[in-house]
Every structure is written in C-alpha cells, then in structure tokens.
Amino acid sequence: MTSLGQLTIFGLSAWNWLSWLWLVYAVVLAVWIVLQKRSPVSTLAWIMVLILLPLLGLAVYAYFGPQRIQRARLKRWHSKAALMSDRELDALRQDRPDPPIWAVQHARLIEQSCGLPMSSCWDVELLASGGATLDALLAAIEAAREHVHLEYYIFDIDTTGHAILKALTAKAAQGVRVRLLVDAVGSPRMAGRQGRRELAAFSAAGGEFAVFHPARFDRFRPLVNLRTHRKIVVCDGKVGFLGGINITDDENERVRPDSAYRDTHLRLAGGAVRWLQYLFLQDWSYANGGEPAAGAMLPEQVAAGTQPVQMVASGPDNDGEAIHRAMIDAIGLARERIWLATPYFVPTEPALAALTNAALRGVQVKLMVPERSDSRVVSAAARSYFAEMQKAGVLVFEYQGRMFHAKTLLVDQQYGMVGSANFDSRSFRLNFEVAAVVLGRSFNEQLARMFDRDLSACRLVPARRRLRFDQKLFEAGARLFSPLL
C-alpha cells in the first residue's frame, strides 16, 4: 500500500501539496480576518484558531465569528423598522429634560452613539428578584388595553413561561395586540417544534410571534453569534421593563428557592418607555424580514416625569458601541465610588484601564461577580484580571452560593445603570443589548442598598490567591481567548 508520503502529483509529494494548500489557506484567512478590522487581540486570536485548527476552526468561525450583519439588510431595517414620520419623531423628542450640568456631555455621548436622547419617567421601580418581576409583569399585562410587546433572549417553556404565556393569550383574546419576540439560540424550545405546539392557543387568540436570527444550518452564515440579549416588555407604550431577568424558572426563586439566579430588573413608567418601544419595533420588524410593524403604537403625549432616564442601546448594527462607551465614560466621571455588578467580567482594554485608573486616583471601586458562574472558562478568564485590578486598589467580591446574574453600575451619588449587558466584549460588541441610565440621588441610593445586601452574601477575594500550576495555566489560557468569549 502506498503511503501518503510516497504519493506524488506532478512530481511533488502529497505532503508538499498539503503544505502549500495549508499555506494558501492560512494567508487567505489571515487577510480575510485582518480586513474585518477587529481589535488586534481578537484578530490574532481568531487567526490562531483558524490556522492551528484548519477544519474545526473554520467551522467554528463560520457559525460564531462573523461580526457584522450585512449592511444592505440593516439599511432596510432602519428605513422600514423605524416606521415613524418626522412628526412622530418630533413628538418623541418633546419629552427631553435637561440633565444635570455634570451629566450634559455624558448624555450627549449616548445620544451621538445610539441616537436615543435624554427622556424622563414619573416612576422607576427596582426589582430585585424573579418572583417580584413576574408579579410586576403579570400586573402590567393585565392592565394593558391596547398592546403588549415582549422581547426576550430566554423564554422557557416551564412554570414561569407558561404563566406569562397564559396571561398573553388571555389579553390577545380580549383584542389587545400582543407581540412576542424571542431569540433563536437563547430560546431553542420556544423557537422550535415544541414552541409551535405551546403557541397554538396564543396564535389562535390573535397573538403574534417571531424569532430573532433563526440558527438555520443550511446557511453559510446563520448569525449564531449575533443575538438579541435584550429583555424588553412594553405595555401600551407607557409602562416598560428591562434588565437581566429572563422568563425562566432558573430565575424564579418561587419555583427554585435554593438555586434561582440572583438578578435585577427595572420597571419604568413615563416618556422614556417610548424609546424602549422604538427599539422593540426595530427588532420586531427586522425579525419579520423588514416587514412594517403595522401601527407604531407610540403615544404622542406622555406627561413629563421628574426622573431623568436615558435609554442606551447597542448592537453589531451600529459601530457606536454605546453601552461600552457609556460605561467607560461614567467610570471616568467618578470622584467617590464605582460599584459594578456583572455575572461575566471579561473587560476590553479600555474598560479595564478605566476601572484601574479610577482606583489609582483614589475612587472606591468595588466589583461583584459570581463565585460559581455557568461557564468555567468565562469565570477563569475573569479571575485572570483580579490581580491586576487589586494591585490598582479595586476590591473584588465573589457572590457565594447561587449564580449571580445582576448587571448594574453605580457611580458616586446620582448615577445608576441597569440593563441586559454584561461587562464583556460579547455584550459590548456582538449582542443586541439595552440599558437604562437613571440620574438622581433616590435611585442611586436604592442601587446602593441592593449592592450592600448582596455584599453580605459575598467574600472578599484575597489579593494573594493560592493557585496550583494547572489553575494558573487554565486562567491564563482562558484570558488568551477572552476576545472570543
């Protein structure tokens, strides 16, 4: 039997041909990745994966690597999904309070990055558990008279999911327009055959359902890596919800009292909710192939509130990286304290520099992360940054027991942010995310009390951690691939 080394083609051995093919493959892929203009670290990481693992790496990249949606599709999205005349947009912008002097430039940064101006609410409620959030959601759905819009990364078909779906079906049967949008990867059962069975009564009652980026493997680029991580609910354009809590028993302590995630959500009432509606309608129209969402459902007149609130939206459709920029800028504003809570901490270089800079200039910086995450690799990558931050003076706390899933940022005495975005590259650059910046001492104090309560379930990570060699190697390796996480 002839070995591969003995086989010749046009005078060259098969090994020589394979070497040349591998070289051409490596050069073409390297040029392809470089032209995408990612961060240098991310570019090098992907090149390493693709070259060292030729077949497996290419398959992984095809489904997880593409960074931008096709610009043509996005142009259709923004032209058709906004669905608003100049008059409607002007009506939206009427509720535009002046932010405090110290926040004027910060508000301008957000508006220039994502197009969403400062607005206001007359009621802002912080929700500290899945059970409380479920109660508030069911009450808002029950009170709705015109429409209910929901967008979720995870919508499970379980006890919590059935409770919400039953309420939505009842409202649809009453003639209220109900639209439910779920992410294909985050909600695989709802987006699949089981979901069609569960949604039969909902659809029969008049409810509308759509899936964001179906992960079809018959396409070369199924956009598996570009997800809607948003959690949005809007009732009648006046009451809205956003934050980190999904529709799942995993985040409902009434169903799973010992293991439910510790998470945070936000209920808003007032003009700022119309911008949340604006984002939902964009996502809904995009998920439906650019088809107009009949009836913009944006109340023209909403009483101005006393609480300044500004929505911040980011996603791969916009190079502005609004949430990333807003967080870094808010950290830069700090003079007294920065309290950051996040389940996944894989910071970009600018974000890491902002935190350590603040600590070095004397600002109290506290970081809260879970001790046990649902991803060992992400947890290891996060821990690889601890020593560097602690050396600068950052206090790092790990939440004990349950999975910690809250995503909040508190700065000094008057700034608070709650949203769906983690403090990592994926949320900053790949996922569709949304957050709310709330200005004012009262809300800041609520966030501070919540953070302090969570601290009682944390342990302070020692500045000198004793690790085995294999643990050090695992953390270092996880950090190497952190741009891909």
405 a catalytic residue:
yes
Q: In the numeric block, which tokens belong to residue 452?
A: 């302090």
Cα→Cα distances 456→62, 398, 399, Å:
44, 11, 9
- Which of 106, 171, 213, 231 is labelled catalytic? 231
78 a catalytic residue:
no
156 a catalytic residue:
no
106 a catalytic residue:
no
- Which of 158, 249, 329, 412 is labelled catalytic? 412
452 a catalytic residue:
no
- Which of 95, 236, 250, 317 is labelled catalytic? 236
- Which of 156, 317, 405, 424 is labelled catalytic? 405
412 a catalytic residue:
yes
Beta strands in 334-475 (DSSP E): 337-341, 345-346, 364-370, 395-399, 408-411, 415-419, 423-424, 433-439, 458-460
Kindly provide the b/e burial profile for residues 1-27, where b requires at least 16 CB atoms within 10 angstroms of the residue's own CB: eeeeeeeeeeeeeeeeeeeeeeeeeee
Q: What is the 3-state secondary structure (H, E, C) of 182-208?
A: EECCCCHHHHCHHHHHHCHHHHHCCCE
Residue 327's CB is within 10 A of a number of other CB atoms, namely: 30
Whole-angstrom distance, CA of residue 59 vs CA of residue 112: 37
CB 262 within 8 A of CB 454: yes
- Which of 106, 171, 238, 407 is labelled catalytic? 407
With CA atoms as reference, report the closest residue to 457 among 288, 341, 326, 294.
Answer: 341
- Which of 149, 229, 238, 265 is labelled catalytic? 229
Supply the residues annotated as catalytic: 229, 231, 236, 405, 407, 412
